[in-house]
Structure formats: structure tokens, C-alpha cells
Amino acid sequence: MTLNTQETHGSNQTKVIYYVKEFFYWSVLIVVFAFSIFPLYWMFNTSLKPRADVEKTPPTFIPFVDYQPTLDNYVDVFFKDRAGAGFAEVDQDADRTISEFPKALANSIFITITTTVLAVLMGTLAAYAFSRFRVKGQGDLLFFILSTRMLPPVVVLIPIFLMFNQPGELINNVLQNIPISFIQAFGESIRDFSLRNSYTGIILLYITFGLPFVVWMMKGFFDEIPKEYEEAAMMDGYSRLEAIWKIVLPEAFPAMLATSVFVVITAWNEFIFVLLLNRDNATTVPPFLYSILGYGQVEWGRTAATSVLFLIPIIVFTFVARNHLLRGVTFGAVRR
């Protein structure tokens, strides 16, 4: 498109310069694209290969041409019948029982959604307060919030492990009056309210990781939304909360989605904490993937298939959110 307009004017020399520039531009783009897409392609490629083809040298690249693709690996993800795969040794006598994958995937989805919704909600409200009100010690508070992200997670791993191992008597006492069915719905036992092996614990932890990010992103965003919007709404007889709900949130929604992408990715990919703190029922896909890798010979086909399945929800989410992510934000109705 740009080529055509360029062709109509300019001397031959400028044309040549233009094509050279264009050539380098596209070359760089293609290299970067290939570099980033290749691991994904390789993962997908491997997931379709029969066992024998996976470790073949030289490697094979194109399904149907180099090898006959199969969905066996995907079927295997859902069953644990091969020795040394999955949590097989836990339950060796069963022939083709369902693997932990569906449960782990459901957990991943549940934990990620809950984390994201709560972190984005709380962080948005905190960010709104920081942006709109004169909070005492605002700079220090904001720095403090950010500073929780400054340590490498490994440093806090052991303290958090110890913390989560507390029997949690206080919580036990508080929750004594809550109907048991409600608690069971969260997969907990009334006896042990330590935060280990619980959704509550890991969600709390992920919210802690996600919040600083949300607060900082959303504060920056709210600073951009003129406060006149809420003032106008309040003048018209709405309360501040109503003004936030009716005016600010619709405006902030794209930003909230953009922010939630980051929270989603952190929670979705988190490995070390969930590996250490949760097992069995409350674990997520990353430790499950690790468990496939963990014993004996690595089943690359199955690993790749699990990874592909693990990737799909994120791709769907990004696809659904992409219009909002790209949408212009304040529409220029307020002139500066």
C-alpha cells in the first residue's frame, strides 16, 4: 500500500533507498517473528509426533510429509497408564484411569480467574483512592506496595512455606460458624485450616504478587482520566461510588483488561510456590507438567501435548480481550 504511493513520485535513487529500507525492515521483522514463533511451532510439532519420531535425528519438521501425525499424545495427557508418567505410581493397578490433568487444568483456570478478578478489583479501588484523594504518605505507601515486588520470589519462599504451615487456629475459630458445605465447596477440610494445599492460600499468595502491579498500572491510568467526569456525575446527584460505577469503570475497563493480562500470566505460569505449597487436589498445571518430566525417561510428545493444552486458555483469553486492549481509551471527549 505504501509501496504504491511511493512509486508515483521521487527519483530512482530515493526509490532504491526506499526499497532497501523496506527490505531491512521486513527482514528484521521476519527474523524476530521466526525467533519467537519457533518454540511454539516446535512444541506443537512435537505434540503431534508418534513416539518413535520425537527423538529422531535429524529432526522432522513437517507433519504429513516428514511423519504421520497422531493425536495419541493428547489422549495420553488425560490418562495415566504408561509407566513413569504422570502420578502413575500413586495408582499403578488401574489400567486407564483419568490423569490429574483435567483437575489440574480446572484448578489452574479457577485459581487464575479468582486471583485476577480479586486482584484487579482490589487494586483498581486502591489505585482510584491513590489517584483521587490526598492520601497521607502517598509516595511512601506506593513505594512500599511496589517494594513487595523487589525481592526475588525465592527469597520469600521459606518464610511463606512456614507461614502457610501454621495450623491456622484463628481462621479455624472464625470459620467455625460458617456452614460446612460452603467450606467444602472450596475443597478444604474443616480440621486443617493451614493455608497449605488450599485454594485460599495459593490465591491469597497470587493476589499478593499481582496487586502491586495492578495498583501501579491503574493509578497511572486513573491519573489520565480527568476527575471532572466524576465531579460532573456527582454534581448531577450521583454518589461517588455510583459515579465510579457508571462513569469511571466503563472508561477504565480497557485498562483493567490490559492489567489483568499480566496478572493472568503471572498466576497461570507460577510454578515454584504452587509446587511447594500445594499438591494433589489443589495443584495446577505447571507442577503437573513437571511431574511428567520428573521420572525416568522423558515423554516429550506427551509433555508437548500438555503444554499445548495449557496454552490454549491463554490464547483464547488474549484473543477475546484483544479489541479492548487495542481500543483507544478516552476517545478525546475531554480537551486538554
Partner 1 sequence: MAEVKIKNISKRFSPNSPLAVNNLNLDIADGEFLVLLGPSGCGKTTTLRCVAGLETQTAGDIYIGDRLVNGLPVGERDIAFVFQFYALYPHLSAYDNIAFPLRAQKLQKDEVDKRVQQVAKQLRIENILNRRPSSLPSGEQQRIALGRAIIRRPQVFLMDEPLTNLDAALRTDMRVELKLLQENLATTMVYVTHDQIEAMSMADRIAVMDQGVLQQVNTPLEIYNHPSTLFVAGFIGTPPMNLIDCHLNGSNTLSDEKGDFKLSGSLIEKLKSKIQDPEKPLIVGVRSEDVFIDTADGPSEVRGEIVARESLGDETIYAVEIGEYIIRVKTDPTLVLNTGTNVGLNFARDRIHIFDAKSKEAIKL
Residue 17 CB neighbours (<10 A): 12
| Residue 157 CA, distance from chain mean position | 20
189 secondary structure, DSSP code: -
Q: Which of 235, 312, 316, 320 binds partner 1 (CB under 8 A)?
A: 235
Separation CA 187–CA 110 (nearest Å): 12
Q: How many other C-beta atoms can be found within 10 angstroms of the C-beta atom of residue 22?
A: 13
Q: CB of 257: closest distance to partner 1 in angstroms?
A: 15
Write down the least CB distance from residue 238 to partner 1, Å: 5
How many amino acids of this chain bind partner 1 (CB under 8 A)? Answer: 23
Q: Does 221 bind partner 1 (CB under 8 A)?
A: no
Cell of 160: 511463606
Helices and strands (H, E) in the chain, number of each type: 16, 0
- Under the binding rule (CB under 8 A), the answer on residue 1 touching partner 1 is no
Residue 226 within binding range of partner 1, rule CB under 8 A: yes
Q: Tell me if 223 contacts partner 1 by CB under 8 A.
A: no
Q: Is 191 in the site for partner 1 (CB under 8 A)?
A: no
| Among the listed residues 72, 62, 102, the one whose alpha carbon sits nearest the alpha carbon of residue 86 | 102
Instruction: List binders of partner 1 among 247-286 (CB under 8 A).
Output: 247, 250-251
Q: How far is the CB of 213 from partner 1 (least distance, A)?
A: 25
Closest by CA position to 243, among listed 258, 226, 221, 259 = 226
Q: By CB under 8 A, is residue 232 in contact with partner 1?
A: yes
Between residue 315 and residue 334, which ones bind partner 1 under the rule CB under 8 A?
Answer: 330-334
Phi/psi at 261 (nearest 5 deg)? -55, -45
Q: In the complex, what is the shortest distance from the CB of residue 242 to partner 1, in angstroms, rounded to a whole number?
A: 8
Between CA 91 and CA 225 the distance in angstroms is 57
Is 222 an interacting residue with respect to partner 1 (CB under 8 A)? no
Cβ proximity to partner 1, 9 vs 336, nearer residue:
336
Q: For residue 24, what are the CA distances in angstroms to 19, 20, 29?
A: 9, 6, 8
Tell me, rounded to whole angstroms, the distance of Cα 31 from its chain centroid. 27
Does residue 236 touch partner 1 according to CB under 8 A?
Answer: yes
Binder of partner 1 out of 43, 175, 204, 234 (CB under 8 A):
234
Q: 93 vs 236, which CB is nearer to partner 1?
A: 236
239 binds partner 1, rule: CB under 8 A? yes
- Give the interface with partner 1 as residue ranges (CB under 8 A): 226, 228-229, 231-239, 242, 247, 250-251, 330-336
